[in-house]
Amino acid sequence: MSRTTLLLCRAIVVEFAVIIISFSLFGMLYYGKEGFLTGISLFFPIIIGALPCLLIALFIGNHIKPNPQQLFENIFLGVILMFLFFLIAVITAAVVLYFIMEGRWIHSQILSEILTLSFYGGGIQTLGVGIWLGGKFCLIKQSSEE
């Protein structure tokens, strides 16, 4: 596995861990113990959403070659990748869980509401992890083996 692939997988795990922690803490802050448990209940949907993201990261990590001299391009790439992974995770989790709970496919209006709320709740965390990922891309030394 290349360093880029490992860094992408690490960024995905960090992103979803930060989202679970922030939802749990904000839920506990505003709603007490029930809000904390609501944040913890997001663990299963996040696992469902993270699996395809990790598989995609394993595939594209070998094809992405960040340029260590271009900080802005690397940060832009990191932010775009993390929002793409976040979008894939939310759509996958929503479709799978809705199908499990209701036994039918999700309506586009419900999916758009889920996407909107997810980006309001997880957008800042995703942006932060994307900037961190872009900074880490600058530190990767490209070897001839990758």
What backbone torsions phi and psi does residue 42 show, to the nearest 5 degrees?
A: -75, -10
Rounded Cα distance between 70 and 24, Å, is 36
Residue 146's pLDDT is: 45
Total-model pTM: 0.82
For helices 43-60 and 3-31, angle between their N-to-C axes, nearest 10 degrees: 160
In a domain, 36, yes or no: yes
**Residues contacting residue 73 through CB under 8 Å, at least 6 positions apart:** 66, 67
Count of domains forming the chain: 1
Give the tens place of pLDDT for each residue, 50-65: 899 999 999 998 888 8
In a domain, 51, yes or no: yes
Domain limits for position 60: 3-139
Rounded Cα distance between 43 and 19, Å, is 10
Give the tens place of pLDDT for each residue, 114-130: 888 888 878 888 999 99
